[in-house]
Chain A
Amino acid sequence: MAERLDPRTAAAAVRAAGAIPARCVDQAAVNRLLAPSGRQLVSCTSRGERHLTVRWNDETAPVIDQDKVVAPIATRAFALTFAAVLGCCWTQPDDDPYPGEPVGVDEAIAAASGQVSYTWAKGALDHSLSAAGLVELDSDTVRLGHAVAAFTTGQISALRRLYDQLPRPAGSTAEDT
């Protein structure tokens, strides 16, 4: 993706790709288009390059109400493995979880062990969580992905209340971080 996109196409491209290189986008122009629907572009980093992803404002963020809006339900392996990555990468609870710190893949999987098997956790990291943009894998390390950069402040507050309960490797506690 080398060319600069017109703002309308760029807004759609961010949805299609999850995040696109910042150099391809006039951020202010796209934000003007996204603002009426309560969204904005926020920065994230992917493969060492600055990217942009879309974040809902708190007032307009989706609220799942299965009577009206149907959302996919995360599998147990997906949810627990992501919780483990979040627990390992989010080292400063007073800060936002993104970008956090990269950790070893084995360390993240160890944090999930006891609740989800190695095979299922590795499968979730390699496929579902990567595809969802929740994690980014780089050889033997894992970091939080662009979808975490898109968490709203309300979602982050909810996660912060659960910070001490996030899975972490044996011998490590929230107080260590």
Chain B
Amino acid sequence: MSALDRLPPTAREQVTDALTALETSDTPLAADAYPALYDPALRAHVTRELDAVGRVLLERDGTYLSGYADDVADELAAAGIGQLDETDRAVLTLVLLHAVAIPRARGQTDGDSWLDAVEFDPDRLSQQWSNPHLTKKAIRTSLRNLRDAGVLRRGHRSAVVPGPQFQRLTDARNELLWSNLVLLAAPDSLLAAAIRRRAATATGGATR
């Protein structure tokens, strides 16, 4: 018998309602719409049931969503499960550079979320970055793949911005992604040097 089975039927139903919504919604859930997210005791059950299947409860500004537990995400990545292919990753990096990193460096965005982005015309990617290894057609295909996966979403007209999947990243994943973007965009900066030092300390080895 699981801990959930020992709850009264109404409370159990509230926990499963929250689990279903957390695992399927495209946007974070307001706690006041779900008793099992609002009530700390029931929320502990939600957290436990998510952990059992390799997931974590993410809380941001009083709203909730689920994501992959970091240890499980590492295992899935090592096994090559659910990964974007190399071209899609390259195109995503370029979009993040243009839609998030550059606007943030210029002070055009306020927040520190991936969704605090400036809409970006994907045609600029083809104009600026296409080459024999990353053709215009490959860029177009990747943009479609990324939109289908919810990693990007459509903005105004044909613009793209980071999509709902970014809200399912843990703090550690967000920091890792941001660090990698800094290493790419400003490899000689003081921030990049600090990131490399921290990575070297964490792994106990030397990194560039």
Contacts and interface: CB of A to CB of B under 8 A. Distances in A.
Interface of A: 1, 3, 5, 8-9, 11-13, 15-17, 20, 33-38, 56, 59-62, 67-72, 127-128, 131-132
Interface stretch (B15-23, B127-135, B169-177, B187-195): B15-23
Interface in B52-88: 52-55, 68-69, 72, 75-76, 79-82
Interface stretch (B96-104, B106-114, B143-151, B200-208): B143-151
Interface of B: 2, 4-5, 16-17, 19-21, 23-27, 29-30, 33-34, 49, 52-55, 68-69, 72, 75-76, 79-82, 141, 144-145, 148-150, 164
Contacts of A15: 23, 53, 82
B49 A37 contact: yes
A104 to B, nearest CB: 24
Contact of A131 (B21, B72, B148): B148
Q: Most A CB atoms within 10 A — which of B54, B80, B82? A: B54
20 contacts: A8-B52, A8-B53, A11-B54, A12-B53, A12-B72, A13-B79, A13-B82, A16-B76, A20-B81, A33-B52, A34-B53, A36-B5, A37-B49, A38-B19, A38-B20, A60-B16, A60-B20, A62-B23, A127-B145, A131-B149
A12 B55 contact: yes
A68 B33 contact: yes
Q: Most A CB atoms within 10 A — which of B5, B20, B53? A: B53
Contacts of A5: 75, 79
Q: Most B CB atoms within 10 A — which of A9, A37, A67, A71? A: A37
Contact of B81 (A16, A59, A68, A70): A16
Contacts of A38: 16, 19-20
A69 B21 contact: yes
A52 to B, nearest CB: 13
Contacts of A68: 21, 25, 29-30, 33-34
Contacts of B80: 1
Contact of B49 (A12, A36, A56, A70): A36
A94 B91 CA distance: 45
